[in-house]
Amino acid sequence: MQTRSTILIAALMATAVLSQTVLAQTTTTTVTTQAIGVATTPLNIRSGPGPEYPVTGAIPTNGQAAILGCIEGSLWCQISYNGASGWAYSQYMTGASIRTLPPVAYAAPPATTGTTTIVRPTYSGEFIAPVASTQPMSIAPPPTVQTYIVQNPRPQVYLNGEVVEGAGLPPDVALAPVPNSEYEYAYVNGVPVLVEPSTRRVRYIYR
């Protein structure tokens, strides 16, 4: 009788150990795969993957952002920078492992009363890539320039990609003069920009 009791106790203990082992093997911690991307120029952070989405912030030159993944077949990537999440255009980010991340999908937040419906724009062309040898130009436009640009908006133009300092605008993007300024301006990809007329390159972005 004692032998049978001993065998039964041993069997129960073995079952308990096996159950704990299986539980330990099946209980895992979810780890988000990500890479580090370094911005090569001041880069917009947007609320969604496209120039039609509002700018919510910016990554400075050489700023490091965590990249969670990119839309399949697109350069728009979901990022996190300084605790803020959003989307950035990875053409202006370096990081060897960016393209090895699993693709992500964008799920638009549900519409609520008072929210603006995002409409995918018609692109009018492409940006002319920044010249690699051009050094960043730091300009500080006076407040009067911003006041004039805000009070005199121009028709919105959308170009494929993201607007960055040093990028060139194609010839069919109309520029408007700014009184008492060497620069002209346009509204491109949802933001007003100052443009150097002789080169048609963006020199300042109002975010």
What pLDDT score was predicted for residue 96?
67
Binned at pLDDT 50, 70 and 90, residue 109 comes out as confident
Higher pLDDT, 5 or 74: 74
Alpha carbons 187 and 68: distance in angstroms, whole number? 30
How confident is the model over 139-158, as pLDDT tens digits? 899 999 999 999 999 999 99
Binned at pLDDT 50, 70 and 90, residue 112 comes out as low
- Give the chain's domains with CATH numbers: 35-100 (2.30.30.40), 143-205 (no CATH)
Task: Reply yes or no on whether the pLDDT at 181 is more than 90.
Answer: yes
Please report the DSSP string for 133-165 in residue order.
Answer: TPPPP-----HHHHHHHHHS---EE--BS---T
What pLDDT score was predicted for residue 9?
41
Q: Which residues of 136-170 are buried (b: 16+ CB within 10 A; e: fewer)?
A: eeeeebeeebbebbeeeeeebbbbebbbbbbbbbe
Task: Reply yes or no on whether the pLDDT at 4 is more than 60.
Answer: no
Q: Are 194 and 145 in contact (CB under 8 A)?
A: yes
Give burial (CB, 10 Å; 0-12/13-18/19+) of 64. middle
Coil, strand or helix at 59: strand
Q: Are 149 and 141 in contact (CB under 8 A)?
A: no
Geometric angle at alpha carbon 156, from 151 and 161, rounded to 5°:
130
What pLDDT score was predicted for residue 176?
98
- Pair of tokens at residue 65: 């952002």
Higher pLDDT, 80 or 31: 80
Alpha carbons 201 and 190: distance in angstroms, whole number? 17
